[in-house]
Amino acid sequence: MSGSRVLEMAREQLAHAAKYLDLDPGLHEVLSRPKRQLIVNFPVVMDNGEVHCYEGYRVQHNTGRGPTKGGIRYHPDVDVEETTALAMWMTWKCAVADIPYGGAKGGVKVDTKKLSLRELEKLTRRFATEINIVIGERSDIPAPDIGTNGQVMAWIMDTISMQTGYTVPGVITGKPIPLGGSQGRIEATGRGVIVAAHEACKERNIDLNKQRIVVQGFGNVGSVAAELAHRDGATIVGISDARGAIYNPNGLPISELYHKYSGRDGGIAEYADCEKITNEQLLELDCDILIPAAIQQQITAKNMANIKASIIVEGANGPTTIDADNYLTDKGVMVVPDILANAGGVIVSYFEWVQDLQNFFWEEGEVNNKLDRIMRRAYLGVAETRDKFKCDMRTAAMIIGVQRVSEATQARGIFP
Ligand code: NAD
């Protein structure tokens, strides 16, 4: 699905929430546009001496509630419109979690599988240099997303530090722990997804520990979510990565798979004791909870009628199209939306930033307890708003997000 369609979807979601809030049309217009979009084209000398030109983006959607925050995605399909939609979702997500940030997102149109490690480092350092004019520890703080990881964050931190003249750990989050990263950051998004899943189960009077779960994507978010749910006693019947999916109705040995294959794209296909299925089949498996944790636009008009889960917890950003969302909600499926369910990552990124600015670091238990508290508070706030407005969870989360950002914008006033 094209970036323009993803942006259209983000704007439709905003328009839907705006109706409930009777949002001022001028403010609606402001919120439907990004504050700043930077497009960069930059060269990289490849290992064979050839020069390749890459296109990258940094989009800042809204700064009403604080500096902007959002990941950097390396993927061949990234474009400025998709990046803008993702930046918008970050604004609402930070507001729903009630952390003092606006939303941003960045990306480079690149297939990292085709790069050597050295080429990846050069691309990253040059991209960081190109976007250095808009990022900063007090203005816009990137983080990892699809295709980027702690090593990429470390290169960006080092590049900005070299250009500043001293170490600036607070310019980016998701760094390795020795460089000012936070305990618990790697697991944070998956952990938050499972906190949200527990809360959803409580509302349905069921116990997560007894549910059959399917997880799409076995990267950072999916693998941790699967591992934590498995540790809590749930049965993970299916998982997948970009190259395919595996299924065992009696449960997969997630801890073993987690240690062997998480972070190794395509690895799970090596596992023998299971049935090999496609990603399409995975989403339609018989299960209680479905956790899409790969990419956007996976649950659509094409497969919505075949989805069997009664609870969907969105680990990925934008995995459910509006058609499918409406259809599933009408059918009684509880869809816990991305801007709530996967907020754990930005919440612990916020903790990392606070620790970096203070040069004072917390223990993992403290990080996890604070994450747990904020996730539960955000979930309960969304559930309360859903009941008040008699709407679905996504609309409720959007109402909270848009309302908080609007209040901040109105209180600040429009300059000059
Ligand atoms: P990742 O790169 O670590 O993992 C992505 C996983 O999805 C991999 O297993 C990959 O093989 C799989 N995948 C890719 N394309 C696929 C396809 N077409 N079908 C099935 N599987 C596919 O990325 P991640 O950090 O785990 O992010 C996953 C999703 O979660 C993204 O939508 C991202 O925006 C969102 N998210 C991530 C974080 C975070 O902290 N990492 C926070 C919030 C939201």
User: Pick from 259, 263, 201, 272: which is nearest to 232 by CA?
Assistant: 201
Q: What is the DSSP letter of 23?
A: -
Distance CA 280, CA 273 (A): 20
b/e string for 245-264 if b means 16 or more Cβ within 10 A? bbbbeeebebeebbeebbee
Give catalytic residues, as residue numbers: 105
Convert the pLDDT of each residue in 222-232 to its tens digit: 999 999 999 99
What per-residue confidence (pLDDT) applies to 405? 98
User: Looking at the DSSP assignment, which residues form a beta bridge with residue 55?
Assistant: 41
Q: What is the pLDDT of residue 136?
A: 98
Per-residue confidence (pLDDT) for residue 267, from 0 to 100: 86
Burial class (CB in 10 A: 0-12, 13-18, 19+), 205: exposed
Among the atoms of ligand 1, which is closest to the Cα of residue 174?
Answer: 40
Q: Could you report the per-residue pLDDT of 94-120, keeping only the tens digit for each?
A: 999 999 999 999 999 999 999 999 999
Sheet holding 311-313, edge to edge: 275-277, 244-247, 235-241, 212-216, 289-292, 311-313, 334-336
Ligand 1 center to 331 CA (angstroms): 27
Between CA 389 and CA 79 the distance in angstroms is: 35
What CA–CA distances, in Å, run from 47 to 74, 108, 127? 19, 19, 17
Q: For residue 295, give the 3-state DSSP assignment.
A: coil
Mutate to test the pocket of ligand 1, among 99, 218, 241 (most ligand atoms within 8 A of CB): 241
Atom 18 of ligand 1, nearest CA residue: 242
Residue identifier of the C-alpha nearest atom 42 of ligand 1: 345
Q: Which residues line ligand 1 (CB under 6 A)?
A: 144-147, 189, 216-222, 240-242, 265, 279, 293-295, 315-317, 342, 345
Q: Please tell me the distance between residue 409's alpha carbon and the centre of ligand 1 in angstroms.
A: 32
The Cα 173–Cα 356 span in angstroms is: 9
Q: What is the pLDDT of the chain when averaged over all its residues?
A: 96
pLDDT digits (tens, 9 = 90+) for 306-324: 999 999 999 999 899 989 9
Cα-Cα-Cα-Cα dihedral of 161, 167, 169, 174, to 10°?
Answer: 60
- β-pairing, 102-108 vs 51-60, is antiparallel
pLDDT in tens, 210-267: 999 999 999 999 999 999 999 999 999 999 999 999 999 999 999 999 998 887 777 8
Structure tokens at 159: 């590049």
- List, for the chain, all residue ranges whose pLDDT scores fall below the cut of 70: 1
What is the structure's pLDDT at 294?
94
* pLDDT of 273: 86
- Strands 36-45, 51-60: pairing is antiparallel
